[in-house]
Amino acid sequence: MNTGIGDASDIIGILVSVIITAALLIWVERRLLAVWQDRLGPNRVGPMGLMQVVADMIKMFFKEDWIPPFSDKLVFVLAPTIVFITMLTGFAVIPFAPGVGIIDFNFGLLYFLALSSLSVYSIVLAGYASNNKYSLLGGLRAAAQTVSYEVFMGISIMGVVMLSGTFNLREIVEAQRDGWFIIPQFFGFIIFLIAVIAESRRGPLDLPEAEQELVGGFHTEYSGMKFGMFFVGEYVAITLSSAIIVTLFFGGWLGPSWLPPLVWFCLKTAVGIVFFILLRGALPRPRYDQLMTFGWKVLLPAGLLNLLVTGAVVLSLHGT
C-alpha cells in the first residue's frame, strides 16, 4: 500500500491554505451573490469590503458562547468539532499536484466516502443535544438526506473506478491524461454533483437548516465559536467537494504546460466553488419529500444504468 508523500511543511501549508480559503469564501459568497442579484454586497469595511470578514470573526470570538441549560452539554459541545475535523482531514488524500499532498494510499476514494459519511454525525448529534424541536427535525432531515444520497454518490463514482482501475486518487488523475472522465462519465458526474450538494447541505438542498421552516435547523441553539465551527466547516466542505470533483472528473492538476500543475488544480477548484455559491442564488429550495423522491426514483436508477453501461463498455474494450 502506498503511503505518505508530504512532510510537515506540506501538511501545515495545506491546512493553513484551506482554513484561509474557507474564511475568504465568506466574503466571496457575499460579493458573488450580490453581483448575481444586482446589488453591492460588502463594500464599506476596508477595500471592497474585505475587512468585513475580520469584523465578523472578531464578533464571533467575543460573542457569548451560550450553552442552553436544557441541552445535553457534552454532546452539544462536541457536535460542531466533528464536522470541522472530518472536512479538514478529508484533504489528507487530495492530490494537489505531482509530489504535493499529505498522504497517498490505494484507498483514498473510500477514505473520502467514509469521512463524508461521518460528518452527518455532527448534524444529528447537534439536533439531538439541543433538545429543541426545530433542531431535532433538522437533524432527522440531515440523517435521512445524507444516508440516502451517500448511496447515489457511491454508485456514481464506480464508473470512474472502472475506467481507471483503482481507488487511488493520484492514479485516477494520471488515468485522465488521454481525456478527462467528465466526457465518458457525464451522467455519473451529474449524479455525483447532486449527491455532493445534498451531502454538504448547500442551497438549494439545505433542508436540514431551512430557515423559513425550521428557524435554523440543527444549529438553532448555537452561538459564538460553536456556530462559527459549523459556519466555517460548511465552506471547508465546499472546497473539499470542489477538489474531489476536479480530481475525479476534470483531470486534477492536468492541463497545458504553460501553467504549473498546482495552479491548474487551484483554478479548476475555484471554478467549482463559484458554481456552488451561485447555485444557491439561482435555484429555489425543493420540498423535503421531493428531494427524497428524486433521489430514490431518479438518481438511483440513473446511477445503476450508468454503472451497467460503463461495465459493458469496459468489458467490450478490454475483454475478461
- Is 33 inside a domain boundary? yes
Q: Decide which of 319 and 110 is more confident.
A: 110
Q: How many domains does the chain have?
A: 1
* The 3-state secondary structure of 17-44, one letter per residue: HHHHHHHHHHHHHHHHHHHHCCCCCCCC
More confident residue, 66 or 239: 239
> 276 pLDDT exceeds 80?
yes
211-238: pLDDT as tens digits: 677 777 777 888 778 888 888 888 888 8
Q: What is the pLDDT of residues 58-107, one digit of tens each?
A: 888 887 777 888 878 888 888 888 888 888 888 888 888 888 778 888 88
- Residue 2 lies inside a defined structural domain of this protein: no
Q: Is residue 145 part of a domain?
A: yes
281 half-sphere exposure, CB direction, 13 A CA radius: 15
Separation between Cα atoms, residue 57 and residue 69, nearest integer Å? 26
Q: Is residue 1 included in any domain, yes or no?
A: no
pLDDT at 203 over 70: yes
Asked whether residue 137 is assigned to any structural domain, the reply reads yes
Domain-located, residue 295 = yes
Question: Predicted confidence band at 40 (pLDDT cuts at 50, 70, 90)?
Answer: confident
pLDDT cut 70: percent of the chain above it: 97
**C-alpha cell at position 107:** 484507498
pLDDT of 115 reads 86
Residue ranges making up the domain that contains 240: 8-318
